[in-house]
Chains A and B, each alone.
Chain A
Amino acid sequence: MPSSEPLLQVRGLQGCYGPVRVLHGVDLDIAAGELVALVGANGAGKTTLLRILSGLHRASAGQIRLDGADIGRLPPHRIVAAGICQVPEGRQVFAPLSVSDNLRLGGYAQRRDPAWLERRLRFVYDLFPILAERHAQLAGTLSGGQQQMLAIGRALLGRPRLLLLDEPSMGLAPLLVEEILRVIGELNRQGVTILLVEQNARAALSIAHRGYVLETGRVALAAPAATLLADEGVKRAYLGY
């Protein structure tokens, strides 16, 4: 692990919806090149944390630093430009637009670098050949798994220094879950830093370097993924045995 400043540093993060606080001071570090899993039960606050990181929701307290720069008050489009791209919960592709339009829009923040976009687009089509095959099809007509690939491809075109994934395996058949997780691991090996949120804790921890366990808005455990996978408490609560 590099000892220098982490790529992402979150300190004392609190998040509220109206008067209800759902994050109670979260600390989280991600070093460049890492794949970090964030697991936790329903309603633990995982999505809220990602929404705050992307600027969709304002933290009520705490600090977010990307490469040392405070990004806690930036609007979402500036955060994307700074290099944090998110694959949101439930995929959220642009249903009435074509697959290739979805990808082009994914590159909106990089629109001034068409040569890079062109290369990256080819990379995404190589990663998910089915998207190349269906490039003219409306995104809303794709299957769930294909929509998830599209959502990931769209985020990759944003040139992420940090890629946030919110439950990419949700609602997918086991075979597809495996495929998606394989791709996520592969992307990380190619150098993309990833924060992977999953309810499917075993699958996420099996490809991650480190993991955080979020319990009702607090970090209950933070440890190397292998340690968490072997932890009796984690096994009972999140791994189902």
Chain B
Amino acid sequence: MWDQILQFLLTGITLGSTYALVALGFAIIYNASDVVNLAQGEFVMLGAMSAIALSAGQGLPLPLAILLAVLLTLVVGLMLQRFAIAPAKGITVVGTIIITIGASIFLRGLALLLWGKDIQALPHFSGETPLRWGDLTLLPQSLWVMGGTALLVLGVQLFFNRTLLGKAILACSCNKTAAQLVGINVGRMLLVAYGLSALLGAMAGVLVTPITYTSYDAGIMLGLKGFAAAVLGGMGNPMGAVAGGLLLGLLESLAAGLISSGYKDAIAFIILLLVLFLRPSGLFGRAVSERV
């Protein structure tokens, strides 16, 4: 019994790592602009699908295909901000969110046209022979997912805590007027935020797709789950989002294992509703309350 639960936990952390990266992307853009970027899941799908197209389709070596796929998604994220969000200056937050919905539909359609409807897989990075400890098994790819996520989260953490550019983005999120008055180009910071979110989404996609597979519409579910995780962690709190993602993955895996796998996808939505009803500020709220 305990072995089994441990097994569910391992699966949960793997799944949760992906949600954590997507949630982190949500939190970064939300922090910088109060906008929920509903195309976040499509970044994950784009990263995965383009890596598959470049490796299986074009025959590029896997590492190169992955690098290009991540860069491509990064460019898509920058273009989304530059050509869809920035020109709509002065529009309300809700209006901007609707633009991101439009962008997500567009990207999904584009993926459908380019790559078709089939479910597709990316090769495992270091083989598919599970590691074993007694009854416990773990795919090497799970280690890639967990390790990659840990590195990315650490990198984001360092970026916001140690670099002037990261601090400038934080400054925009806590007081836009004051940020402008110290000479920060607020639009430029938004561009960086979208680029960073796209990068995180794409990395999540290429890391987890060998295990979960992907398709042109995989971004819908991943986006919603990442959103649920971000809300659970307290919207706009990056490390809360990461914790929310891991927690969601664990709960899903336990629900699937102990109750029925049919409930797995329902967990995110149950959590979303519960948090919104009971504790809209999420488990961890905002990192620091703002005084004006």
Contacts and interface: CB of A to CB of B under 8 A. Distances in A.
Interface of A: 54-56, 75-77, 80-81, 85-86, 88, 90, 92-97, 101, 104-109, 111, 138, 140, 154-155, 158
Contacts of B288: 95-96, 138, 140
B162 to A, nearest CB: 11
Contacts of A96: 170, 174, 287-288, 290
Interface stretch (B97-105, B110-118, B180-188): B180-188
Given A96-B287, A108-B168, A77 B184 contact: yes
B170 A97 contact: yes
Interface string B173-208: 011011111111110000000000000000000000
Interface pairs A-B: 5 shortest CB-CB: A109-B183, A80-B183, A96-B288, A76-B180, A92-B178
20 contacts: A54-B181, A55-B180, A76-B180, A77-B180, A80-B182, A80-B183, A85-B181, A85-B182, A88-B181, A92-B177, A94-B175, A96-B287, A97-B170, A97-B171, A97-B174, A101-B167, A105-B167, A105-B168, A105-B171, A140-B289
- The size class of the interface chain B forms with chain A is 20 to 34
A97 B167 contact: yes
A89 B270 CA distance: 45
Contacts, number: 85
A104 B167 CA distance: 9
Contacts of A77: 180, 183-186
A65 B186 CA distance: 24
Contacts of B181: 54, 56, 76, 80, 85-86, 88, 92, 155
Contacts of A104: 164, 167
A150 to B, nearest CB: 11
Interface of B: 164, 167-168, 170-171, 174-175, 177-186, 287-292
Contacts of B292: 90, 92, 95
A106 B182 contact: yes
Given A56-B177, A93-B178, A97-B174, A105 B290 contact: no
A108 B185 CA distance: 10
B177 A105 contact: no
A225 B180 CA distance: 32
Contact of B182 (A55, A95, A108, A138): A108
Contacts of B168: 105, 108
B290 A140 contact: yes
Contacts of A86: 181
A177 B184 CA distance: 30
B5 to A, nearest CB: 39
B32 to A, nearest CB: 14
A106 B174 CA distance: 15
Contacts of A94: 170-171, 174-175, 178-179
A93 to B, nearest CB: 7
Contacts of B167: 97, 101, 104-105
B183 A108 contact: yes
B82 to A, nearest CB: 16
Given A75-B185, A104-B164, A108-B182, 15 more contacts: A56-B181, A77-B184, A77-B185, A77-B186, A80-B181, A80-B182, A90-B292, A93-B175, A94-B170, A94-B175, A95-B175, A95-B292, A105-B184, A158-B182, A158-B183
Nearest to B178: A92
Nearest to B288: A96
B190 to A, nearest CB: 13
Contacts of B179: 94, 105
Nearest to A54: B181
Query: Of residues A55, A88, A94, which shows the largest number of chain B Cβ atoms within 10 Å of its Cβ?
Result: A94
A92 B182 contact: no
Contacts of A90: 292
B182 A109 contact: yes
Contacts of B183: 76-77, 80-81, 108-109, 158
Contacts of A75: 185
A87 to B, nearest CB: 8
A165 B288 CA distance: 28
A80 B185 CA distance: 10
A92 B80 CA distance: 31
Contacts of A95: 174-175, 288, 290-292
Contacts of B287: 96
Contacts of A55: 180
A96 B186 CA distance: 18
A106 B183 CA distance: 8
